[in-house]
Amino acid sequence: MKFSRSTTVDNTLLPLVPGTQLTYEGRANRGTGVLPHRIVSVVTDLTKVIHGIRAVVIWERDFNEGQMVESELAFQAQDDQGNVWNLGEYPEVYEQGKLVGAEDTWITGLQRAQPGILMRAKPKIGSPGYLQGWAPEIEFRDRAKELKAGQRSCFSGRCYSNVLLTDEWNPLDPPDGHQLKYYAPGVGTIRVEPGAGDQDQETLVLVGKVRLDANALAEARRAALDEDARGYTVSNDVYAKTPRATHTARVDKPQ
């Protein structure tokens, strides 16, 4: 697999344009009952080399009832065929506003972790599915399967056409809770619903998509770099073994 322009992620169903901010709202159970839930995801203008592949850095914050419970850096890249890959995640967990750890960190090439595909260049309805990532140390082994294409999805007064519906699950997490995810061309994920056996009962819908201005993007970049730096202490057995995220190396080069 070649990654000649790995940080140019232009897959129509999962585009990653630096400066894009997506906001989702819904409800989820994070162990304390079903509560209002909000996720803010930013495609930063940072990159990080993961197992020899330069990846885009996604900074995502997870809020329950207005309080941040997780702040995650995710690393994604596109191969020459147009498939978008998941190369790892550094999720910081917060309780009462205090950082308590990042035990679910996984990075391709470390502790036997392997990458997975987040979105195929050409979705295959009816196929047996595909791996989205495999990290045996934390029992992370997400899989996905395309269910339907060409769908129409309407909510919050807006409709999306040619939507792809997928089923995503972790077979190592009994009772195999599933999530249904909807992807719209030119946007990415627009909706998340519980599937069979989903105990968290998470529901999310896209409520905002904006392009951050220079100041807002710089602020997001600083926050993501701060989190990247913390990772070398918080996860000194895994994350500390990766190169630092960088803002200057934005030009794609052959790997």
- Give the chain's end-to-end CA distance (angstroms, integer): 10
Q: Where are the domains of the chain?
A: 20-144+213-237
Query: Is the per-residue pLDDT at 255 higher than 60?
Result: no
- What's the rounded Cα separation, in Å, for the pair 211 and 21? 6
* pTM (global) more than 0.85: yes
Higher pLDDT, 201 or 141: 141
Question: Under a CB-based contact definition with an 8 Å cutoff, are residues 200 and 177 in contact?
Answer: yes
Q: 117: helix, coil or strand? A: strand
pLDDT bracket for residue 184 (50, 70, 90) = very high
Q: Given this model, what pLDDT does residue 164 score? A: 98
- What's the rounded Cα separation, in Å, for the pair 121 and 13? 9
**CA separation (Å) from 28 to 62, 99, 125, 141, 193?**
11, 21, 28, 21, 10
